[in-house]
Amino acid sequence: MIIVLKSGATDADIAEVCRRIEALGYAPHTIRGELRTVIGAVGDERGKDDLLSLQNLECVEAVQRILQPFKLASREIKGEPTRIRVDGVEIGGPRVVVMAGPCSVESRDQVLEVAAKVKAAGASILRGGAFKPRTSPYAFQGLEEQGLKLLAEAKRETGLPVVTEVMEPEKVAVVAEYADILQIGARNVQNFSLLKRVAETRKPVLLKRGMATSIQEWLLSAEYILAGGNPNVILCERGIRTFETATRFTLDLNAVPVIKKLTHLPVVVDPSHGTGHWEYVEAMARAGVAAGADGLIVEVHPRPAEALSDGPQSLKPERFAELMQQLRRVARAVDRDV
Ligand code: PEP
Ligand code: MN
């Protein structure tokens, strides 16, 4: 249920409504919008309409049922887009935010070189994997904590905030020490214990869509993080499995306008995993911005042929710099900036 408060509602009113929601056995989530405050009351409502009694309070304008299965993520509870601040960077605002860097952190030289180059080209967040979810157990698994330290050094050198993947609940604390944004990979989108654990950190979370999750399932995964008390969720479309084999995955750009309709959360597009081939990355990055994405996440490697993971889909820094120029023009055409 959503409890919509009257425009003059005070902090004491909000506290009182929250107290009553808790007394009825639900969890209150206060969302202060520009025009009005609403309080989401979430919990098991089956067969009950006890929250309707809140309608009698002086400060309450209306009590409404949320129709979507995802509640806190829905547009019904919050009409305005959510903007998430990471250091000085805002995700979900008018500027399209570009995150770029290697698939895996491989060495100090490699990550410092890419970080400096993507920053010079105009990226505002550095990506890089330290814990890698590899299909084969024999493939490079990442530098782990050493990789996190190198990302932190690259951040000190460039000022770029860092997004990096966390794969296990037990590793959330250590990754959160170094990362500005915690990435949940496609393969972990329904790892509910991991989602609950990242919720506890209150750090921004980049939640990738699973390669076989529907948009509704993906938003219910986001709901786990929101219901766990962390409102800072960024969705990432990274391609889904279809019958097509010419590309690694099928980048579902339909998801961008669908997400914009269903939820207030920002959405970014990953044209690197979405295509699997560097030749297609630029076109789909441009398409992502044109479709209304709030950001992009792009793999860049100084020597893709030597990359320990995802070389075939990684752009060289020079091409990435060219892409940034193209994106500026596309963004302008859809009334955004890069
Ligand atoms: C990655 O970002 O390198 C990655 C493994 O992504 P995904 O989880 O989307 O496959
Ligand atoms: Mn990768």
Task: Return the best residue to mutate from 166, 248, 273, 309 for the ligand 1 pocket (most ligand atoms within 8 A of CB).
Answer: 273
pLDDT 10s digits, 299-324? 999 999 999 999 999 999 999 999 99
| Same domain assignment for residues 273 and 130 | yes
- For atom 6 of ligand 1, the residue with the nearest CA is 185
CA 58 to centroid of ligand 1, rounded, Å = 50
Instruction: With CA atoms as reference, report the closest residue to 251 among 221, 295, 281, 207.
Output: 281
Distance CA 105, CA 175 (A): 14
CA 207 to centroid of ligand 1, rounded, Å = 10
Distance CA 172, CA 253 (A): 30
- pLDDT of residue 131 exceeding 90, the answer is yes
Average pLDDT for residues 318-337, to the nearest whole number?
98
CA 159 to centroid of ligand 2, rounded, Å = 23
CA distance to 38, 162, 236, 268, per residue, from 206 (Å): 25, 11, 7, 9
Average pLDDT for residues 198-221, to the nearest whole number?
98
- pLDDT of residue 130 exceeding 90, the answer is yes
Distance CA 277, CA 310 (A): 9
Ligand nearest to the Cα of 164, by number: 1
Is 69 inside a domain boundary? Answer: no
Ligand 1 pocket, CB under 6 A = 103, 129, 133, 185-187, 208, 238, 273
Is 125 inside a domain boundary? Answer: yes
pLDDT 10s digits, 164-180? 999 999 999 999 999 99
Query: Could you give the number of structural domains in the chain?
Result: 2
pTM of the prediction?
0.97
CA 188 to ligand 1: nearest atom: 8
Distance CA 80, CA 82 (A): 6
Helix (H, G, I), strand (E, B) or coil at 287: helix
Give the pLDDT confidence score for residue 302 in this predicted structure. Answer: 98
Domain residue limits at 10: 2-64
- pLDDT of residue 232 exceeding 90, the answer is yes
pLDDT 10s digits, 22-39? 999 999 999 998 888 999
- pLDDT of residue 122 exceeding 90, the answer is yes
pLDDT 10s digits, 42-75? 998 888 889 999 999 999 999 999 999 999 999 9
| Same domain assignment for residues 13 and 155 | no
Is 166 inside a domain boundary? Answer: yes
CA distance to 11, 60, 206, 233, 299, per residue, from 271 (Å): 44, 45, 15, 20, 9
Mean pLDDT of the chain: 97
Distance CA 274, CA 211 (A): 10
**Which element (helix H / strand E) includes 296?**
strand 295-299
Give the pLDDT confidence score for residue 35 in this predicted structure. Answer: 83
| Same domain assignment for residues 59 and 89 | no
Give the pLDDT confidence score for residue 45 in this predicted structure. Answer: 82
Is 74 inside a domain boundary? Answer: no
| Same domain assignment for residues 46 and 96 | no
Give the pLDDT confidence score for residue 265 in this predicted structure. Answer: 98
